[in-house]
Each structure stands twice: as C-alpha cells, then as structure tokens.
Structure 1
Amino acid sequence: MSSETTRLQMALLAPAQAQKHVTVNEALMRLDGMVNLVLQSVSTAVPPGAVLDGQCWGLPASSEGAWAGQGGRIAVGANGGWIFLPPAPGMRAFVADRGQQAIHDGTDWAVGALSLGQGGSGLMTGLAEGEVTLGTGSSAVTDVLIPAGAMVIGATARVAAALTGPLTGWRLGTTGATNRFGQGLGKPEGSWARGLLGSPMAYYQPAPLIVTSEGGNFTGGRIRLAVHWLEMRLPL
C-alpha cells in the first residue's frame, strides 16, 4: 500500500504512528490551499517576500530562489515555507493576476480555457484592462490591446476622474471605427460605457482601444477600460 495519496501526495497515517497530528495538520494545509484552487500567478518566477499560509502559485520553468527547480508545480504556502505539489491534467484554478479561470493541459496552465481537447485545442476567453490618463488632445491610443485572432464581444469603460476640456462627450473604439464600443459618452466621474457588440467582431491584427473626444479636445481626466474576447487555441 502506498504511504501517500496519489493526487496531493498527502502522507497517510501508519499504525501506531507517533505524533499523528503532524501528518494530519500537513494534509489539512495542502487541502486548504488546493481545494477551490486560486493561483496568485502562473508567470511570477520570484517567491514573494512574505509566505502566506494557503496562498498558491503556479510556477514557471524559470522560477528562482526557494522555487528553483520546481517549475511546473504548484507552490503552497505552509508554516512560513513551501509545499510543492504536481498539477494534474484537467485541474482547474482561478488565476488572480489575470482575472481568469485556467485548466491544466498536462504541461501548462491554459489561462482562459472554456474547453480543452485531448490534443490541446480549446475555446478560450480573453480579457485586457487598463487605465488611460488623458492630456491635451483629441484622442488617446491606449495600452489596452486586442490580440490578433480574437473574436471581440465588447468593451467597457468607466470615467475614474472627470474629463476636462471643451468636449461635449467622448467615444470608444479602434482604428477605423472610433465609436465601435460607444459614442456620446459622459464626462463626469462615474460615467460608463458597456459596448456590447450585436455581432462579435473578428480582429486579425492587434488593435489598441482608442479614446476620442467629441466637440472639443481633452485637457485631462482618467478612464478605466476593459475589452473582452473569445479565441481558438491551436492543437499542441
């Protein structure tokens, strides 16, 4: 009989074992981290300065320091140190720094996967978000980027600091369609846009979101932006 469980490698109690609480407590620490799994990141290679019990990280191959040599495994914070566990194909997690669900394909985490075939193909969700601080001008090309090969569902925005200048409103879109996700949008703080497309739009080249003024130039303000899409994952 094996001395540990298959999936989470939790040590099993032995007959007449001394200090059974040590074995049980470590098993509980592993379960606390791995049940309803939340990964802080799957791309961070350097361990955090403070180890929080139960906090989990998906380790890239380039991991350093206390994570060196553990690439591909899950690091679970436990008693000021780390327990390293192997992910299993089909395991699901929420990746906190990406704001998306992920499925493990047996080699890596497929972030955004809705489905994942045995050959690695899948239907993926995508999300990019950011904030633009406006200066003087009629438009701003933002860092919020739609990738090539994306089927865009829509984009959303909220004014984080009131827009200033002689403008009457603003619009949100991309090159060639500056109002694709909304026009005549409000200037006061808290104004918002929910640009849901009637038909999803395929983008075959990368495209940044563009904010454009109406009726006059911007002189200041901040807008938070997000864009949402679907894409198809190629077989491995």
Structure 2
Amino acid sequence: MSETTAHLALPFLMAAQAQKHVTHNEALRMLDSMVQLSVLDRHLTAPPAVPAEGARYIVPANATALWAGWGNSVACWLDGAWTRFMPAPGWLAWVVDEAQVLVWIGSAWVPMISAMGFVAQGAAVAVAKGPDGGTTGMAVTEQTLSGLSGASRDSAIVIPDRAIVLGVSSRTVTAVTGATSYDCGIAGEPAKFGGSLGVAAGSTNRGVIGPQAFYADTKIRLTARGGNFTGGAVRIAIHMLTVGLPS
C-alpha cells in the first residue's frame, strides 16, 4: 500500500506507527496550504525577505535563490522555511494582486476565463481568438462632455481606425441650455447617431447604425440646434467591434 494519498500526496497513518500526531499534523499543514488556494503574487523572481506565515506564491520560471528550479510550483512559507507544492492539472488559484482565478492546465497557469472559454466583462474584450492570436473583440468607450458651449463640441474619445461601429448612445446628464435640441454624429454627418435629441436631464438615445467600418480615428460631435450651447453635460458611449491582428 502507498504511504501517501493519490492526488495530494498526504501521508497516511500506518499501523503500529509511533508519534502518529506528527504524520497527522503534516497532512493538516499540506491541506491548509493547498485547499482553497490563494496566492499573493506570481511574478516575484526571488522569495520575499520577510514573508508572513502561510504566505503562498506561484513561482515564475525564471525564479532565483531558494526558488530556483521551482518554476510554476506553489511556494508556501511554513515554520520558517519554504515548502514546494507541485500543481496537478485542474488546480485553481486566486491571485490576490490581479483579482483573477488561474487554472493549471499541465503546462502553464492560465486565466480561468481563457481556459474555460468565458467572456469577461470589461471596456474591451476578445470574444474569439485564433491559434495565432488574431481576435474579434467588442468594446465600449465612454466620455461625459460637460460645460457645453458654442455651436458644437467634439469628444476626446474617438472611434478607432479599423473599428466597426454598431452605434453611439447618449444621455443628457445635466440639462443642456442655449440649444433647444442637439444632434449626435461626426464631422460632415452631424446627426449620424441621432438628431434633435432631448436637452432635459435624463433624456437618452440609442444611436444604432449599419454597422459601419471606420478607416481613421474619428471624434464624436454634438451639434447644437435652435441656438448655441451655453451649458449642460451629455454622456456618450461608442459601441464597436474590433479586429486584432495575429502574431
């Protein structure tokens, strides 16, 4: 019979063994280190000088000093020394400084969203990725245009070159003054994403188009109607698809 368990290599208590508490406590220490695994960092190339008891790290491939040769292992500081734990495929680890879960797939630690094919929420995400790194993505970029004045106002954010735009949405955050309404569009097409939009606070518009590809960085323009802008704030959001090049 093996002296350790099949998966976590926890030591068994053996018949007629003396000081069984030593083996039992060793197994508890190993379980405490590996179960509900949470590591502080995975990029330190050398052990921290003053680690806290029980502190755990994923060791990078180029680690030095006492971690040399421990690449991709989990290092845990226990009773004044580093203990190495070799991961098995399927191990999960929460990385504190990155706020994400990694999965050991047998050759590398990869984000769970990649390993499982999940789509994460974010300002820009890849929804499809080819074996050579080409991506199809979705993105949204937002800006609040405040202190409106004059005949028009251009955004600081832009529709990126080679983006495919689905639309630009808008919300009047603070009542617009001076104008009786406004258009949302681009230079040369002032109402492309909506015309005669409401100036009252809370007015909204979902400016869906085409979709349409753009071939140069393009600003969004708000154009006053019925008079120039003298105040107010409008929040805009550009909704688009992105195309990422293969490596």
**TM-score bin (small chain):** 0.5 to 0.7
Alignment of 1:1-236 (within 5 A): 12=8, 14-16=10-12, 17-18=24-25, 20=28, 23-24=31-32, 27-30=35-38, 76-77=95-96, 86-87=109-110, 90-91=114-115, 98-100=122-124, 112-165=125-178, 167-197=179-209, 199-236=210-247
Instruction: List gaps (5 residues or longer) in structure 1.
Output: 4-10, 34-73, 101-111
* Alignment-mate amino acid for residue 157 of structure 2: V
1:186 Cα offset (Å): 0.3
Q: What is the aligned partner in structure 1 of residue 84 from structure 2? A: none
Sequence identity of aligned pairs in percent?
28
SS in 2 for 1:221: strand
Larger radius of gyration: 2
> Greater share of strand residues, 1 or 2?
1
* Alignment-mate amino acid for residue 15 of structure 1: P
The number of residues matched between the two structures is 170
1:77 Cα offset (Å): 2.3
- Residues 140-198 of structure 1 show CA distances to partners (whole Å, capped at 9, x for unaligned) of 11122110001100010111111111x1200101121111100110011000110011x
Distance 1:168 1:152, change over 3 A: same
Give the TM-score of the pair, scaled to structure 1: 0.62
Cα RMSD, aligned residues only: 3.3
1:13 Cα offset (Å): 5.6
CA distance in 2, matches of 1:204, 1:83: 35
Give the TM-score of the pair, scaled to structure 2: 0.59
